[in-house]
Amino acid sequence: MPSNDVRTLAQAAVPTAAVGAIAAAVSGVVAGGKGAVGAAVATVVVILFMGLGLYVLQRTAKTLPHLFQAMGLMLYAAQILLLFVFLAAFKNTTLFNPRAFAITLVVGTLVWIAAQTRAHMKAKILYVEPDSAPSASAVNGEKSEKSGHSS
């Protein structure tokens, strides 16, 4: 992953992990050990789902840039659906407290989205690739063959 992608991943994962740790502590006090386990599992699920989604979206942006916007919309819809499926699958589990799990899952997802949005807004990513050296025709004051309207 390029450095901007790693930076974005870190800027989204660290706040999510911090909120997950706080949720595990609160859930541990409120619901006991099973609450802490539920919050911890939810935090891991959020970081895995959202991190994998960010990775897939970045790969799509580099290989198929014309599909980037549609892929982003489809990816976020699929992530939310998968999170709901995960919630439904573990609704009646005895491994951990489902309420602590569900609340941490929702809060962790919201924190990830907010942190990722902030990271993208703060990133200084060039959207136009600057030329490394001016072409000979541009130096001589001639108009480039590729500039201007094509019709």
Q: What is the pLDDT along the chain (151 residues), one digit of tens a residue?
A: 566 678 888 888 999 999 999 999 999 999 888 999 999 999 999 999 989 888 888 888 888 888 878 888 888 888 888 888 887 887 787 888 888 888 998 899 999 999 988 888 887 766 666 666 555 555 555 555 555 555 5
CB atoms within 10 A of CB 145: 8
Tokens representing 60 are 């799509």
What is residue 18's predicted lDDT score, i.e. its pLDDT? 95
Length of the chain: 151
> Is the separation of the CB atoms in 113 and 76 below 8 Å?
no
Place of tokens 């916007």: 69
> Is the separation of the CB atoms in 74 and 64 below 8 Å?
no
Place of tokens 């989204």: 12
Contacts of residue 43, defined as CB under 8 A and 6 or more positions apart, other chains included, come to 16, 17, 19, 20, 21, 23, 24, 104, 108
What is residue 131's predicted lDDT score, i.e. its pLDDT? 67
pTM of the model: 0.72
> Is the separation of the CB atoms in 34 and 134 below 8 Å?
no
Tokens representing 34 are 């099973």
